[in-house]
Amino acid sequence: MSMPAQALHASASIRSRSYTKVAIAMHWSIAFLIFLNVCLGFLMETFPKSAPGHDQVLFYHASFGSLIFGLAVFRLFWRSTHKPPALPSHIPAWQQNVAHVLHWILYTLMLAVPLTGYLHRMAGGHPVSFFGMGYLPVLIGKNEPLRLLTDTLHVALAWTLCILVVGHIGAALKHRFIDRDSVIQRMLGV
């Protein structure tokens, strides 16, 4: 095989073992936004609702949550039309199955956390603005029992998402530094 043909073959081989550029961009964008929004959520909890700035933090928290939801929907659509690269064959089948199940739980939480926050705001009689460009549809009226339920669900699901994200990061670091395999490179595109 000639040198240019070898380079082309190697490049195609790397691409087949990597996620698409769109999937990689979505992964890192959503990861950053989740980190940012969790920080905003913690910030909201540090001062009273009457404190200056609380409403501004809440505004951005709700807007970023809406953005995460939209990006997660797009990401699921992309995933349904673009097969992800296979995990390396040396990874035991049970670990591959656990990884797939946990990925689907993460996708579910990327939808459920913002959705419960959205329902919480509506049930409290507060429309959700999307970065001041307009309001999301108001689908339900004020409902105090639903507001309390969705608040509890939102917080519990957010904590679950945080725990699973930490586990996801830990698994990626394990593959990189202990197993020294190519799993993490699939999401780096190298």
Q: What is the pLDDT of residue 1?
A: 52
Q: Can you tell me the distance from the alpha carbon of 78 to that of 44, in angstroms, rounded to the nearest whole number?
A: 33
pLDDT digits (tens, 9 = 90+) for 164-186: 999 999 999 999 999 989 898 89
Residue position matching structure tokens 């705001």: 121
> CA 53 → CA 39, 46, 94, 173, distances in Å?
15, 11, 48, 37
pLDDT digits (tens, 9 = 90+) for 117-161: 999 999 999 999 999 999 999 999 999 999 999 999 999 999 999
pLDDT over 50 (residue 88): yes
The total domain count for the chain is: 1
**CA 4 to the chain's CA centroid:** 39
pLDDT over 70 (residue 14): no
Detail the DSSP E strand segments found in 82-176: none
Q: Can you tell me the distance from the alpha carbon of 77 to that of 52, in angstroms, rounded to the nearest whole number?
A: 40
| Both tokens assigned to 26 | 């979505």
Taking the model in full, what pTM does it have?
0.87
| Both tokens assigned to 162 | 């945080």
pLDDT digits (tens, 9 = 90+) for 96-117: 999 999 999 999 999 999 999 9
For the chain, give the percent of residues with pLDDT over 90: 76
Q: What is the mean pLDDT of the chain?
A: 90
**What is the residue range of 40's domain?**
3-188
Q: Can you tell me the distance from the alpha carbon of 133 to that of 156, in angstroms, rounded to the nearest whole number?
A: 29
Report the run of H or E that residue 13 belongs to, with start and end. helix 3-17
The closest alpha carbon to 136, from 118, 159, 151, belongs to 118
| Both tokens assigned to 150 | 């969705």
| Both tokens assigned to 16 | 């087949």
Q: What is the pLDDT of residue 167?
A: 95
Query: How many CB atoms are located within 10 Å of the residue 61 CB?
Result: 19
CATH no. for residue 147?
1.20.950
Report the run of H or E that residue 156 belongs to, with start and end. helix 144-174
Give the HSE-up count for residue 33: Cα atoms under 13 Å, Cβ half-sphere. Answer: 22
